[in-house]
Amino acid sequence: MAKEKEEKKIVPPTNDSDKKKALDAALKQIDKAFGKGTLIRLGDKQVEAIDSISTGSLGLDLALGIGGIPKGRIIEVYGPESSGKTTLTLHIIAEAQKAGATCAFIDAEHALDVKYAANLGVDTENLYVSQPDFGEQALEIVENLARSGAVELIVVDSVAALTPKSEIEGDMGDQHVGLQARLMSQALRKLAGVVHKMNTTVVFINQIRMKIGAMGYGTPETTTGGNALKFYASVRLDVRKIATLKQNEEPIGNRTKVKVVKNKVAPPFKTAEFDIMFGEGISRDGEIIDYGVKLDIIDKSGAWFSYKAAKIGQGRENAKAYLKEHPEISDEIVATIKSSIGLDKLISGAGGKDSDDESESIEENTEE
């Protein structure tokens, strides 16, 4: 009779010394298989504060809690048509370029206005632009750029325009149920780890649609491309136009409200409001006046605005014009505002977990 082989029983280590030896052996095996640093103990390496890219808006930088959008993450910016989504992302590109970053714009909608981008401060000469033919091509370009580690910011405009190749090559009446959602889900599974490892920020602009047959509670709106982007995005920004700005009955811009509906790096649901002027983008001077008044840095008496006892304009538009003509005063007020709300400390590397306490008193916090 053949002798049966006894199965080798795996016995867990019982004392601390054996546990440490077993763990060291496992760590060596993991490092050998996947590379050094694949698994680390947080106590052995100081956790760095989350770096950010400014949005070009003082209020939105504060609402985000870390001085801008986080680096090495996936971001979603969505809203109705003509609400300011592309304008906001172009300002983010401009701010990233000022800090020396290389940026790319994936123009799936084939609608980028280069002249307008230049007016917002984008260095169009050094901006990499692609106008892909179909969705798979666009997302492959994004992945290749992210894997290179040489591009710090990639903007995709927009998710709704990422049409799968099979849909483009098919006939008009063909049904393509769930193709785009599957495409986005597959792409984001690959992208999530790459962008974190390479510290590349990917911003997806998205459109909203009405849910068919939506009844009862909850919003009837939804974004395109399925649910994957909602889960993988560290920050989701809802951009809405809330008013039209007029001067002498002529429209000169829009009042825009941005709500941080999701935030994995700071408390969510904060909002920011700012002016987007036609042809100029986000009005920096308008925000300076708004925050200056809220923080008692700028005095408002009736229609007059004053700074350090000197009148700077009668009416908001005149005060904005004064600050535009006197950039040194504008910069001085900005520095005082940042110091008052703690934004200067956030930008210098203190942020990551919580927003500044004082910010809550000057930010509208409405969870709709």
For the annotated binding site for ATP, the residues are 79-86
Contact 240, 78 (CB under 8 A): no
Tell me the one-letter amino acid at 97. Q
Q: What's the sign of the alpha-carbon dihedral 50, 198, 228, 240?
A: positive
Tell me how far apart the alpha carbons of residues 237 and 271 are, in angstroms, rounded to a whole number: 9
Tell me the one-letter amino acid at 58. L
Report how many helices (DSSP H) and strands (DSSP E) the chain contains, helices first.
12, 15
314 Cβ partners below 8 Å, 6+ apart?
Answer: 303, 304, 305
DSSP single-letter state for residue 156: E
Instruction: Kindly write down the DSSP assignment for every residue of 225-248, as one continuous string.
Output: S-SHHHHH-SEEEEEEEEEEEEET
Question: Which phi and psi angles does 327 have, rounded to 5°?
Answer: -60, -25
Instruction: Kindly write down the DSSP assignment for every residue of 55-115, as one continuous string.
Output: -S-HHHHHHTSSSSEETTSEEEEEESTTSSHHHHHHHHHHHHHHTT--EEEEETTS---HH
DSSP single-letter state for residue 220: S
Q: Which residues are annotated as a binding site?
A: 79-86
Q: Which residues of 238-274 are buried (b: 16+ CB within 10 A; e: fewer)?
A: bbbbeeebeeeeeebbbbbbbbbbbbebbbbbbbbbb
Tell me how far apart the alpha carbons of residues 333 and 98 are, in angstroms, rounded to a whole number: 21
User: Radius of gyration of the chain from Cα atoms?
Assistant: 25
